[in-house]
Structure 1
Amino acid sequence: MIRSVCASLLLALLTCLPVWASDQALWEQSTLNQILKRGELRVGLEAGYMPFEMLDRKGNIIGFDVDLARLMAKSMGVKLTLVNTQWDGIIPALLTDKFDVLMGGMTITPERNLQVNFTDPYIYIGQSVLMNPKHRETISSYSQLDDERYTIATKLGTTGDIAARRFMPKARIRSFESEADATIEVRSGRADAFVYDLPYNVIYAARFADSVVHLHEPFTREALGWAVRKGDPDFLNWLNNFLRQIRDEGIYDALYRKWFENTAWLKNVAG
């Protein structure tokens, strides 16, 4: 009888071994395991997206995402390295292991999700419109810009670019490499409006109140998430639990107030 029980236990153990070995191999290859071994968390972003990430007057990258990344690295017990990357190449850079996680305020879309996996949303935003002041008295809604008389500036490869083409198909759309290039077009009068994320537009309008008008009612709703390479459940699990923890402890809300409800940091921003 004892021999029979032992044989059954041994058979069960041997049956589980392939599964355990497979799980262990998955962990060995996990980005999280590599971060811990390396002692360094590499975060990809594009400095220029206020208030998520931007350069201060000393050339340092600061912002909401940066503070979250610092907390993340501290929780892991590793150092943080920020990898400033052009937006149009930021997903390829993640996929080729230039950094470990993309924290650049990326909207979760089905198309992007085919290439990368996203964490749970860490913030919700929408698209809004910055206009040249000459339209202050005549345009009060984004829908009025859907006219061939108007030129709409966007940032290439963003959901603002997609939204402008979807909701303003009759207008002339001009896409630019950066927010700065697009907004200068609006302020100079070469473009009538700029379609972009609400948080950025709110802060830009506060900085340049005399040269732009903000239609602050968002006309889309978008979830932003952190992106990781596919096939890495351990890292994705850790990131989601980290996000849940800082929300439960009130840390997330404190950082949100710092960057989205207070503009004291603007005096330290370059340009």
Structure 2
Amino acid sequence: MAQLKRLRSQRALRSLKKSGIRRKGECKMIKRRDFAGLIGLGAAGGAAALALAAPAIAQASADTGSTFDRVRSTKKLRVAGVPGTEPYYHKDIVAGKWAGFCVSMAEDLAKALEAEVEITETTWGNAVLDLQANKIDIMFGLSPTPARALVVEFTRPIMNNTFTLVVRPGVEGKTWEDFNKPEIRVAVDIGSTQDIFARRALPNATLVALKSFDDVALSLLSGRADVSVQVAMNSLATVKKNDGIGSIVVPTPISAQPTCAGVRPDPDGRFLRFVDNWLEYNRALGAMKGWIVSSLDLAKIQPQDIPVSVTF
């Protein structure tokens, strides 16, 4: 057994000598060129490993990093679109293309971020959920209600909008209290700004909560509802698109609230700051008003139709 151990030790020593390395206590060391070769091999292996890992690291950063970093790295700005809400959003069903002033804003914001727009179809009620689920990066046209502010953040106002009623023929009233009665059926699209406001301003009326904005118009046309709470821009579009649906009433006292864009809360907040700066820059240039006015034709609205209380 001892002889076998000595034999193995001698073989190991000869192997070390061939490679230029001696046992402990011997002064000969690895040659400089051999050592450099070993380092080079390690560096090459490390570089290869990093190269293979880079896409995964970039993807992980895009998925978990800030919205600003994700948009800049993927070159995609994900926004929401709500069909049938002209002049905010309009979807050409045949061509599959989107228009409207919110779309114009999204395209310009994407250009400023050196990105392209990707539009996901949604509803006003689901937009906040889409932001929370990381399906979209920004939703234009949201009102900053306290309930929404618990889960999303809001930009500076895009416009200040007035609450109105689209009133079916034969229904009369001038104040909010005139319509705050159980016999008055009030149509709203679930989860929208109109829905939230109606529950607060008309608590005694009979609420008709519907899935989409188009369903609200149909409820008035069919006689299922008597009035519909809508912000001024929406009520103008509803009356212009649907002959005989009724008239617009601006009940007193006049109630208005800002319309903003909603974003997902970020650790660094850079995306929100960028959008705010972009908004102020374009407001100063007059671009904001230009986008809105140029989209009025989608809803057959003329600039003179807009109430003076609507400012942008």
Which residue type is aligned with residue 257 of structure 1? V
Task: Give 3-state SS (helix, strand or coil) of 1:99's partner.
Answer: coil
User: Which of 165, 168, 178 does residue 199 from structure 2 map onto?
Assistant: 165
Which residue type is aligned with residue 132 of structure 1? R
Unaligned runs of 5+ in 1: 1-24
- The question of 1:220 aligning with 2:252 is answered no
**Counterpart position of 1:15:** none
**Counterpart position of 1:76:** 113
- Taking the aligned partners of 1:265 and 1:165, their CA distance within structure 2 comes to 30
Task: Give 3-state SS (helix, strand or coil) of 1:36's partner.
Answer: helix
User: Which of 210, 213, 219 does residue 176 from structure 1 map onto?
Assistant: 210
**Counterpart position of 1:264:** 297
Of 65-74 and 87-96, the range deviating more from structure 2 = 87-96
Residue 61 of structure 1: how far off its partner (Å): 1.9
| Cα 1:162–1:34 shift into 2, 3 Å | closer
CA offsets 1:37-69 (integer angstroms, 9 cap, x no match) = 111111123223221112235332211100000
**Counterpart position of 1:21:** none
- The question of 1:235 aligning with 2:271 is answered yes
8 A Cα contact 1:44 1:85, kept in partner: yes
CA offsets 1:12-45 (integer angstroms, 9 cap, x no match) = xxxxxxxxxxxxx9xx922111111111111123
Residue 217 of structure 1: how far off its partner (Å): 5.2
8 A Cα contact 1:142 1:215, kept in partner: no
TM-score w.r.t. the length of structure 2 is: 0.70
Task: Give 3-state SS (helix, strand or coil) of 2:139's partner.
Answer: strand
- When Rg is computed on C-alpha atoms for both structures, the one with the higher figure is 2
- 1:147-162 matches, within 5 Å, as 147-162=181-196
**Counterpart position of 2:226:** 192
- Taking the aligned partners of 1:141 and 1:37, their CA distance within structure 2 comes to 52
- Taking the aligned partners of 1:29 and 1:156, their CA distance within structure 2 comes to 32
- Taking the aligned partners of 1:140 and 1:188, their CA distance within structure 2 comes to 23
User: Which of 129, 133, 142 does residue 96 from structure 1 map onto?
Assistant: 133
Which residue type is aligned with residue 222 of structure 1? Q
- Taking the aligned partners of 2:269 and 2:232, their CA distance within structure 1 comes to 32
| Cα 1:60–1:133 shift into 2, 3 Å | same
CA offsets 1:96-152 (integer angstroms, 9 cap, x no match) = 21121122x1100121111011111111112210111122xx433332111122111
- Taking the aligned partners of 2:210 and 2:76, their CA distance within structure 1 comes to 34
- The question of 1:117 aligning with 2:190 is answered no
Residue 209 of structure 1: how far off its partner (Å): 4.1
Residue 256 of structure 1: how far off its partner (Å): 2.4
**How many residues are aligned here?**
235
8 A Cα contact 2:157 2:258, kept in partner: yes
CA offsets 1:177-232 (integer angstroms, 9 cap, x no match) = 11111221112222111112210101211222423111145742111221112134
8 A Cα contact 2:100 2:298, kept in partner: no
Which residue type is aligned with residue 62 of structure 1? A
**Counterpart position of 1:4:** none
**Counterpart position of 1:65:** 102
TM-score w.r.t. the length of structure 1 is: 0.80
- Taking the aligned partners of 1:211 and 1:102, their CA distance within structure 2 comes to 29
Residue 88 of structure 1: how far off its partner (Å): 3.0
- Taking the aligned partners of 1:257 and 1:49, their CA distance within structure 2 comes to 15
- 1:123-162 matches, within 5 Å, as 123-135=159-171, 138-162=172-196
User: Which of 42, 51, 62 does residue 87 from structure 2 map onto?
Assistant: 51
Task: Give 3-state SS (helix, strand or coil) of 1:112's partner.
Answer: helix
Unaligned runs of 5+ in 2: 1-60, 301-312
| Cα 1:191–1:212 shift into 2, 3 Å | same
Task: Give 3-state SS (helix, strand or coil) of 1:126's partner.
Answer: strand
- Taking the aligned partners of 1:140 and 1:110, their CA distance within structure 2 comes to 28
- Taking the aligned partners of 2:250 and 2:196, their CA distance within structure 1 comes to 19
List structure 1 runs of 4+ shifted beyond 4 angstroms.
none
